[in-house]
A and B are shown apart, each in its own frame.
Chain A
Amino acid sequence: MNITQLTLEQTPPLSVPFRFFLTAPLFGILAALLLLGSGPTIFSSRWSLEVITLTHLLTLGFISMVIFGAFLQFLPVLVGSPVPYPRLVSTLLHLLLTIGSLSLTSGFMMTQVVLIEMALVLLGLSFIGFMSIIGYSLIRTKSNAATVTAMRLAWLALAITVVLGLILGTGFGYGYNLSSLAKLTNLHLGWGLLGWVGLLIIGVAYQVVPMFQITPPYPAMVKRWLTPLIFLTLLTWSGFYWLFNLNNFSWILFGLMDLIGIEFSLFALVTLQLQSWRLRKLPDVTLDYWRIGMIGLLLSFILGLAGLIWSDLSDTPIYQLQLGILFIAGFILPVIQGMLYKIVPFLIWLHWQNQQLNILTPVRLVKIPHMKQIIPDRWARYQLWVYFISLILLIIVALYPSKLIYGVSMSFMLAFALLTYNLYRSLWLYWSVSQQLIAKSMMENPIS
Chain B
Amino acid sequence: METITTLLSQQHHDCDKLFAQAEESVATTQWECASVDFDRFRAAMEQHFIREEQILFPQVENHMGHTEGPTAVMRMEHQQMRQIFTEMAACIAHLDQEQYLGLAETLLILMQQHNAKEEQILYPMSDNLLNHQLPSLLEQLHQLGNNKA
Asked if B69 and A282 make an inter-chain contact with CB atoms under 8 angstroms apart, the answer reads no
Q: For residue A352, give the distance in angstroms from its CB to the closest CB of chain B.
A: 11
B105 at the interface (CB under 8 A from A): yes
The reply on A139 being an interface residue by CB < 8 A is: no
**CB-defined contacts of A350 to chain B, threshold 8 Å:** 110
Whether, in the assembled complex, A207 has its beta carbon less than 8 Å from a beta carbon of chain B, the answer is yes
Which residues 116-130 of B have a CB within 8 angstroms of A?
116-117, 120-122, 125
Question: In the docked arrangement, what's the CA distance between A330 and B53, Å?
Answer: 46
- B112 contacts the other chain (CB 8 A): yes
- In the bound assembly, the distance between CA atoms of A288 and B20 in angstroms comes to 18
Question: Chain A's interface: helix, strand, loop or mixed, by majority?
Answer: helix
Q: Can you list, as one digit per residue, whether each of A197-214 has a CB less than 8 Å from chain B (1) or not (0)?
A: 000000000010001101
**A8 close to B105 (CB less than 8 A):** no
Q: Which residues on the B side are within 8 Å of A371 (C-beta)?
A: 102, 105-106, 109
User: B30 near A: Cβ within 8 Å?
Assistant: no
Set of chain A residues within 8 Å of B24, measured between Cβ atoms: 280-282
- Give chain B nearest CB distance to A151 CB in angstroms: 14
Collect the chain B residues with CB atoms within 8 Å of residue A280's CB.
Answer: 20, 23-24, 108
Tell whether, in the assembled complex, residue A8 and residue B106 are in contact, meaning their CB atoms are under 8 Å apart: no
Query: Range of interface residues on chain B?
Result: 35 or more
A361 to B112 Cα, complex, angstroms: 27
Whether a CB of chain A sits under 8 angstroms from the CB of B76 is yes
Tell me the A142-186 residues at the B interface (CB within 8 Å).
Answer: 143, 145
Q: CB distance A3 to B20 under 8 Å?
A: no
Cβ of A346 within 8 Å of any chain B Cβ, yes or no, is yes
Decide: B70 and A4 in contact? CB cutoff 8 A.
Answer: yes
Check if B36 is an interface residue, CB within 8 A of chain A.
no
Q: Which residues of B contact A77 (CB under 8 A)?
A: 113, 116-117
Write out, one digit per residue, whether chain B residues 68-105 have a CB within 8 A of any chain A CB (1) or not (0): 11101100100010010000000000000011011101
**CB <8 Å contact, B69 and A3:** yes
Q: Contact string, A8-24, partner B, CB cutoff 8 A, digits 1/0?
A: 10000000000000000
Partner of B17, one of A80, A214, A353: A214
What separation, in Å, do the CA atoms of A353 and B23 have in the docked complex? Answer: 23
> Are A357 and B76 touching (Cβ within 8 A)?
yes
B34 to chain A, nearest CB (A): 14
B105 touches A4 (CB 8 A): no
Pair A8/B125 contact, Cβ less than 8 Å: no
Contact B19 A370 (CB under 8 A): no
Select from chain B the residue with minimum beta-carbon distance to A143.
B120
Given contacts A214-B16, A282-B101, contact A6 B109 (CB under 8 A): no
Distance from B11 Cβ to chain A, minimum over Cβ atoms (Å):
15
A363-382 near B? 1/0 per residue, CB < 8 Å: 01000001111000000000
Residue contact B121 to A80, C-beta cutoff 8 Å: yes
A224 within 8 A of B: no
| Least CB separation from B129: chain A residue | A3
A346: chain B residues at CB < 8 Å are 106, 109-110
Inter-subunit contact B116/A211 (CB<8 Å): yes
Q: Are A1 and B68 in contact (CB under 8 A)?
A: no
B7 within 8 A of A: no
Say whether B64 faces chain A, with CB atoms less than 8 Å apart: yes
B43 at the interface (CB under 8 A from A): no
Q: Which residues of B contact A279 (CB under 8 A)?
A: 16-17, 20-21
From 198 to 250 in chain A, residues with beta carbon under 8 angstroms from any chain B beta carbon are 207, 211-212, 214
CB distance from B129 to the nearest CB of A (A): 9
Question: Scoring B residues 44 to 80 as 1 if CB is less than 8 Å from chain A, else 0, what string do you get?
Answer: 0000000000000000000010001110110010001
Q: How far is the CA of A1 from the CA of B122 in the complex (A)?
A: 10
Q: Does A342 contact B (CB under 8 A)?
A: yes
User: A80 contacts which chain B residues (CB < 8 A)?
Assistant: 121
In the complex, the answer to whether B101 meets A372 with C-beta atoms within 8 Å is yes
A421 interface residue per 8 A CB criterion: no
A71 at interface by CB-CB < 8 Å: no
Partner of B112, one of A8, A145, A211, A372: A211
Question: Complex: how many Å from CA A211 to CA B16?
Answer: 9
Give complex CA distance A212, B112 in Å: 8
Q: Which 8 A-B pairs have the closest CB atoms?
A: A372-B102, A279-B20, A370-B102, A211-B112, A6-B70, A371-B106, A370-B106, A346-B109
Given known contacts A211-B109, A370-B103, what 16 new A-B pairs fall within 8 Å (CB)? A3-B69, A3-B122, A4-B70, A6-B69, A7-B70, A7-B72, A80-B121, A212-B112, A214-B19, A279-B16, A280-B23, A282-B23, A346-B109, A349-B106, A372-B101, A373-B102
Could you name 15 residue pairs across A and B whose Cβ atoms are closer than 8 Å?
Answer: A3-B122, A6-B70, A7-B68, A7-B73, A143-B120, A279-B20, A280-B23, A282-B24, A282-B27, A282-B101, A346-B106, A364-B83, A371-B105, A371-B106, A373-B102
